[in-house]
Amino acid sequence: MDSTIVELLLLELLLVAVLAVLSASEAALHTIRRPQLIEELAARGRRGRRAGTMGRKAVEYLASIQIAEFLIVFAFSGISAAYIAPRLSDLLRFIFGPGAPVVRDVAAVAVTVAALCLVAVLFGIFVPRTIGARHAQTVLLILVWPLELFSWLLRPLVAVLFTLTRLLTRPFGGNPQSSALVTEDEIKSLVEAGQAQGVVQEREQRMIASIFAIAEKP
């Protein structure tokens, strides 16, 4: 294994680490939006008050995080396909001979991207999001200032994308500013997930369900 492939793999691991931090932050922001948790954070000093503000303005921070996650996944896949897969193709040629170069190259790209993306999904998304949801307050207290800087850097891009979204959806009657942030089904799913993780108590879930039931009565 030459030094170049080692450097590329280290770069991929760095991208996975950044993706993991963003995924944990995203899950923590989704969880911390409950008023009770925001109040608890606000009582934990300056860092806690700043984290509580992030919870109240979670949509703005989540937009920045999701854009960054997309860019990281795009870069991760591009590096895998463009730089790591050709080296695997050379290895396959050494093993299976020089025949069918197109098939060999396609197989190398498929195997490389699939294997590395599996690592990225597991350690960059699933595991960090579980940790972020279970330890939302701790995660935000640790990452509050990096997230502030990160959101500030991406704020112009987020503003441009929101403006384009409004322009593109206007002919179809869409208005992102006035529409609901989440639907009833999404709220129910979040409540069920919160109960499964121990964040939402059963009594709170029954109360929310009864509110929707009353609203649906004619």
Per-residue pLDDT of the chain (218 residues; tens, 9 = 90+): 567 888 888 999 999 999 999 999 999 998 887 777 777 877 788 888 888 888 888 888 998 999 999 999 999 988 988 888 887 777 666 666 666 677 777 777 888 888 888 999 999 999 999 999 999 889 999 999 999 998 899 999 988 988 888 888 888 765 555 544 455 555 666 666 666 666 666 676 677 667 666 655 55
Burial 200-212 (b: 16+ CB within 10 A, else e): beeeeeeebeeee
Claim to verify: residue 66 and residue 20 sit in the same structural domain: yes
Residue 186 structural domain? 182-218
Smallest CA-to-CA distance from 54 within 122, 152, 124 is with 152
Claim to verify: residue 135 and residue 193 sit in the same structural domain: no
Claim to verify: residue 106 and residue 210 sit in the same structural domain: no
Claim to verify: residue 119 and residue 207 sit in the same structural domain: no
Q: Given 174, 190, 207, which residue is the final one in a domain?
A: 174
The kind and range of the H/E element at 144 are: helix 136-169
Claim to verify: residue 197 and residue 156 sit in the same structural domain: no
* DSSP states of 118-134: HHHHIIIIIHHHHHHHH
> Domains in the chain: how many in total?
2
Claim to verify: residue 199 and residue 102 sit in the same structural domain: no
Claim to verify: residue 35 and residue 73 sit in the same structural domain: yes
Claim to verify: residue 170 and residue 209 sit in the same structural domain: no
The model's pTM: 0.71
Q: What is the pLDDT of residue 60?
A: 83
Claim to verify: residue 166 and residue 216 sit in the same structural domain: no
Q: What is the pLDDT of residue 125?
A: 93
Helix-, strand-, coil-residue percentages of the chain, each rounded to 5: 85, 0, 15
Claim to verify: residue 120 and residue 199 sit in the same structural domain: no
Q: What is the distance of C-alpha 132 from the center of its chain? A: 11
Claim to verify: residue 57 and residue 142 sit in the same structural domain: yes
Q: What is the pLDDT of residue 48?
A: 85
CA distances from 65 to 8, 29, 168 (A): 24, 10, 22
Claim to verify: residue 146 and residue 194 sit in the same structural domain: no
